[in-house]
Amino acid sequence: MIHQNESITLKTSEAAAVIILLLAGISYGMIKLELMPHIPVIMGIMALMIYGLLKKIKMADLEKSMVEGAKAGLGAVMIFFFIGMLVSSWIAAGTIPTLIFFAFDLVTGKWFYAIVFIITSIVGLSIGSSLTTSAVIGVAFITVSEALGFSLAITAGAVISGAFLGDKMSPLSDTTVLASSTVKVDLFEHIKNMSWTTVPAFFISLILFGILSPDLKSADFTQLANLQNTLVKMNLVHWYSFIPLAVIVVLALKKVSSILTLAAGTLTAMAISMFIVPMQEWGGLPGILYSGYVSESGNAQLDSLLSRGGIESMFFSISLVLLALSMGGLLFKLGVLPALLQGLAGSLEKGPVLIGSTALSALGINLLIGEQYLSILLTGNTFADHFEKAGLHPKNLSRVLEDAGTVTNPLVPWSVCGVFLSSVLGVSTMEYVPFAFFCLLSPVLTLAAGFTGITLSKIGKNAVA
């Protein structure tokens, strides 16, 4: 998509008007009319097509731009497929049930949401994948939260905050590597510089989750014990069920590609499931990779939580992602995004304006296209020269790309991460957004750094300004 050339040149004011109308229409459809997000996005695509035809652009060119836009999401689509298979295979192998079993034992204190935030942060740092962390560890904590009658929205906010903190700071994360490589900054220098905004965001989030955490003294743990007993009776709790998780961690540490890592985790889980499932049922195991695992424990709550995964469960997410990226392709072809980026890139001699414009660009691309990789690539390539002219070290730019790009993607209902997380966790994006404290604080803190000049490094200087 980033290699597309616009067919027409728009004024920044006209491009801004198009974007405002587009976002207003999508927001109205999703929030006020409570439509499935696909419908407002399709309506937005149709409106952009009409706009393009009025601008004398050939329909063939518009169609080609949508195809080019969708191509940008094929990598994410493949990962979705493999995560769908990973989830169903990990349930069959007892990996997720065993994690749930031990997660129940962690809620003996009073800091439930804070514990969720800390553990998902550690796991996210370890494996470098926010989506995998949320799909595995997040599901376990959502199960605990529902069993105890706690807020699923706050729990999801804690899971997503921790997962994206880990993803953002992990040297194993593809977004961390992408942000540093895009602006040619050493990976570990980039991570070190991000601590200026990440550490305060972590502690503020931790305090907020601690304050919101319920008093577990009044909670009924009998239900948790019953669920644990049911998991044991289903023969889904074993020490060796952690082997697929260990495989994922080891391959991630060795920086093996995401798809190959997920595939290895799935195949390992399928092999282990053969020790758990009776031999006469082995023939049905491959089928769960497509249709998902179906729990038949007799416990309605547990069955609803364990009956998930499979390629089929990802179709909702995949279809929305492709639609959103197709819309992004149209926005490029129509010259809307280039005009906005050009408008933001003008008159950027002062640090505060430069940081603010960069953050707005990264956030805006997430809102318009819903793809965090493009929010990093497009923004990084657009503003790199301006940071150099302003005398600012490029690690300031890479930090903004993560603070306003990587971690804001899950806050957008039609984004790649927003769609996936709402599907896996069973909590809508609009419900968990107010509680995704880390994701909300990161862009605020990076803007504060930009406007005050604190922690900004100059070219040729190691110390912050």
Range with lowest mean pLDDT among 151-160, 348-357, 383-392: 348-357
Q: What's the Rg (C-alpha) of the chain?
A: 23
| pLDDT value, residue 188 | 74
What's the rounded Cα separation, in Å, for the pair 160 and 166? 10
- The pTM assigned to this predicted structure is 0.67
Q: Which of 52-56, 219-223, 278-282 has the highest mean pLDDT?
A: 52-56
Tell me which residue has tokens 């290699």. 3
> Is residue 154 within 8 Å of 117, Cβ to Cβ?
no
96, two tokens = 């997720």
Range with lowest mean pLDDT among 89-103, 212-226, 249-263: 212-226
Range with lowest mean pLDDT among 12-16, 254-258, 428-432: 254-258
Range with lowest mean pLDDT among 84-98, 184-198, 290-304: 290-304
Q: What angle do CA 409, 410, 416 make, to 5 degrees?
A: 70
Mean pLDDT confidence for 289-316? 79
Mean pLDDT confidence for 295-303? 74
* Confidence band for 465, pLDDT divided at 50, 70 and 90: very low
> Is residue 290 within 8 Å of 72, Cβ to Cβ?
no
CA 304 to chain centroid, in Å, comes to 24
| pLDDT value, residue 463 | 45
What's the rounded Cα separation, in Å, for the pair 50 and 48? 5
> Is residue 179 within 8 Å of 408, Cβ to Cβ?
no
Burial class, 325, CB count within 10 angstroms (exposed 0-12 / middle 13-18 / buried 19+): buried
Mean pLDDT confidence for 174-180? 76
Sign of CA dihedral 86, 91, 94, 97: positive
Residue at 203: amino acid letter: F
Mean pLDDT confidence for 265-285? 86
| pLDDT value, residue 160 | 95
Choose among 387, 312, 426, 375: nearest CA to 80: 312
Choose among 125, 110, 114, 119: nearest CA to 138: 119
pLDDT exceeds 70 at position 307: yes
* Confidence band for 267, pLDDT divided at 50, 70 and 90: very high
| pLDDT value, residue 133 | 78
Tell me which residue has tokens 């408008």. 343
Is residue 237 left, alpha or beta, with left meaning phi > 0 and alpha meaning psi from -120 to 50? beta
Range with lowest mean pLDDT among 151-160, 184-193, 396-405: 184-193
pLDDT exceeds 80 at position 48: yes
| pLDDT value, residue 159 | 94
Mean pLDDT confidence for 115-134? 80
Q: How far apart are the first and last CA of the chain?
A: 37
Count CB-CB contacts under 10 A for residue 440: 18
Mean pLDDT confidence for 115-135? 80
DSSP string covering 164-195, please? HHHHHH-TT-HHHHHHHHHTT--HHHHHHHHH
> Is residue 381 within 8 Å of 402, Cβ to Cβ?
no
Domain borders along the chain are 12-74+315-452, 88-306
> Is residue 97 within 8 Å of 230, Cβ to Cβ?
no
Q: Which of 114-123, 184-193, 261-270, 430-439 has the highest mean pLDDT?
A: 430-439
Range with lowest mean pLDDT among 4-8, 32-36, 192-196, 253-257: 4-8
Tell me which residue has tokens 């923004």. 379
Three-state DSSP class for 200?
helix
| pLDDT value, residue 338 | 77
Phi, psi of 43 (to 5 degrees): -60, -40
What's the rounded Cα separation, in Å, for the pair 400 and 381? 13
Choose among 215, 278, 244: nearest CA to 97: 244
User: What does DSSP assign to residue 392?
Assistant: B
| pLDDT value, residue 461 | 52
| pLDDT value, residue 128 | 67
| pLDDT value, residue 435 | 95
Each residue's pLDDT tens digit, 62-117? 898 888 888 866 776 787 788 788 888 988 898 878 877 876 677 655 788 998 89
Partners of 458 in beta bridges: 392
Q: What's the mean pLDDT when you consider all of the chain?
A: 81
Choose among 209, 219, 210: nearest CA to 107: 219
* Confidence band for 282, pLDDT divided at 50, 70 and 90: confident
